[in-house]
Amino acid sequence: MPKTEKQYKQIRDDRRNEIIDAALNLFATEGYDSTSIARIAKEAKISKGLVYNYFSSKEELLTKVVENAAEDVYQYFDLNNDGVLIEKELKYFIKKMFQIIKEQQAFWRLYLSFAFNPQILEIITKKVPKKSENILEMLVDYFRRQGNTDPEGETFYFISVLKGIAIQYIAAPEYFPLEKMEKKLTEQFCKSDKKKKVKQ
């Protein structure tokens, strides 16, 4: 029985995701510069030519890897999509981010390597979607409504702490107290939790 268009689309989507996963693992373990399209094709168990049917270049593949990781983050931010971040949403976002840190170690190893490769940083920066800017704006607004006197600084401090935790965990996952850090981060940036502790 011939396959339907929906089935063919699913096959194409699955193959595309297999290529992206192979690229992510190789970029993270062997480095972006050291990984060739031929190596990615071998890892994905397909021909080099077939990779080019889905992606025009290694740079496009890197961009897709980053975009996918970003979408994993975006889906847990501002859950009702009203453009206003509330404390409940921030607490949920922190919880999901720690889950992502634990489950997607390959991406965070890759992210760590970006810090030492300006060429890759430039590629990624050009592709940062508008949604990233919206997240920054919502965080600034959130901290302003919380009464913070420097909401912009608090936003970048929050992001820096979260990224730093991810990097420290990737460096030594067996020793890093990830659950304890999640609790401390939530207590630090969610004001009502602090107030509850003081009352108790």
Q: Which tens digits make up the pLDDT trace of 140-176?
A: 999 999 999 999 999 999 999 998 999 899 888 899 9
What integer pLDDT is reported at residue 125 of this predicted model?
A: 67
Looking at the structure, do residues 79 and 49 belong to the same domain, yes or no? Answer: no
Q: Which of 56, 71, 103 is the last residue of a domain?
A: 56
Share of the chain above pLDDT 70, in %: 90
CATH assignment of the domain containing 15 = 1.10.10.60
* 28, part of any domain: yes
What integer pLDDT is reported at residue 112 of this predicted model?
A: 77
What integer pLDDT is reported at residue 4 of this predicted model?
A: 83
* 198, part of any domain: no
* Tens-place pLDDT, residues 112-124: 777 667 777 776 6
pLDDT confidence tier of residue 3, bands split at 50, 70 and 90: confident
**Enclosing domain of residue 159:** 59-191
* Of residues 129, 125, 128, 150, the one with CA closest to residue 139: 150
* Of residues 183, 143, 178, 175, the one with CA closest to residue 159: 143
Beta-carbon-side half-sphere exposure of residue 27 (alpha carbons within 13 Å)? 28
Looking at the structure, do residues 139 and 92 belong to the same domain, yes or no? Answer: yes
Instruction: Please state, in angstroms and rounded to a whole number, the distance separating the CA atoms of residues 53 and 132.
Output: 29
**pLDDT above 80: residue 135:** yes
What integer pLDDT is reported at residue 105 of this predicted model?
A: 85
Looking at the structure, do residues 175 and 105 belong to the same domain, yes or no? Answer: yes
Alpha-helical (H) ranges within the chain are 5-30, 37-44, 48-54, 58-74, 87-103, 105-114, 118-126, 130-145, 151-171, 178-189, 191-199
Instruction: Please state, in angstroms and rounded to a whole number, the distance separating the CA atoms of residues 137 and 83.
Output: 9
